[in-house]
Structure 1
Amino acid sequence: MHLSDPWWVYALRGAGVYLGLLILLRLVGKRSFGEMTTFDIVVLMLVGGTLRTAIIGDDRKPLAAIIGVLAIVLLDKGVAWACARWSGLERLIEGRASVLARNGQVIEGALRKHDMSEEAFHRVLREKGLREVGDVAEVRLEANGKISVLKTARHE
């Protein structure tokens, strides 16, 4: 199999796209893909298709795609390894959790800061078996984009 570019070009492109997308998603915010909606899936599909071209260009050979994907997987494994050993790096890459509600009260401006509607917030509460915000001890938007809910003692 003859590639149109040297093998390392695909590896560098894959690594570059991975790092660029990691930075972009970090800048966009935690909630981007934590709770997947139809819109998120559409965006993910479009991004994937667009980035395919950035990684392998016009080369249609499977080896080009394999090299690009291998570079991404190895870099991801390396980043995970480093994050497990250095908490500062993990905070930089993952971010920190944000409190949305505490002691039955929504934190002023917290939903807006994370582009969450009140309806989406209440939907999360219902999914966790709660009727109202007064039933929560704390609601957090975790660094991975998921929402965790700690119920008040009367609901545990």
Structure 2
Amino acid sequence: MDHAFDLSAPWWTFVVRGVVTYLGLLILMRLAGKGSLGEMSAFDIVIIALVGGTLRTAIIGHDQGMLGPFIGVASIFATNRLLAWTCARFPRFNRLVEGFPALLIRDGRRDRDAMRRQHVADAALDRALHKAGLEDERDIRMGRLEPNGKITLTRRSAPRGTE
């Protein structure tokens, strides 16, 4: 416990490493696509565990004290807060960070090319339909893969007189 608050490097290196690691991982997640941000599967949980363990060294290096990791984590939280503040005030920057939705269903028909580009399997789209209480896409006007990886569905309007 004698060296718990000693740092193996200057404090600011932990800040820089935390910020750079956060931004680098954010870029990698955007490049990985929207599907990696949606509902988590067992594969996603394994990826998160591996990424976290791998990036530990990138953030704190070989520091064995308690202070270095806290400085690194505080810098990640501060960067996240600054990024959220910036995205809330600058819509174009937000679209750059967040991305755009992708249309998967148009007027009751699956767009197979869009599904392929977005790496969305039929089974994933079927799950979204079932979650909405539907058996197939014929009752859907529009189905989108949102930037956060969720699939949102807009039903067609009911014909007049059938309500």
TM-score (norm 1): 0.95
Deviations along 1:53-88, one digit per CA (max 9) or x if unpaired, are 110111121211110010010011001101111111
TM-superposed deviation, 1:152: 2.0
Point out the more displaced range, 27-36 or 83-92. Answer: 27-36
- Which residue in the other structure is 2:130 paired with? 126
- Give 2:15's aligned amino acid: A
Pairing 1:103–2:107 present: yes
Number of matched pairs: 156
Q: Moved runs in structure 1, 4+ residues, more than 4 A? A: none
* SS across alignment from 1:5: coil
Segments of structure 1 that go 5 or more residues without pairing to the other structure are none
Pairing 1:149–2:153 present: yes
TM-superposed deviation, 1:120: 1.5
- Which residue in the other structure is 2:6 paired with? 2
* Cα distance in structure 1, aligned partners of 2:6 and 2:64: 11
- Which residue in the other structure is 1:89 paired with? 93
TM-score (norm 2): 0.91
Segments of structure 2 that go 5 or more residues without pairing to the other structure are none
% identical aligned pairs: 46
Aligned CA-pair RMSD: 1.4
Alignment of 1:5-154 (within 5 A): 5-154=9-158
Contact 2:125 2:151 in 1 (8 A): no
- Give 1:50's aligned amino acid: T
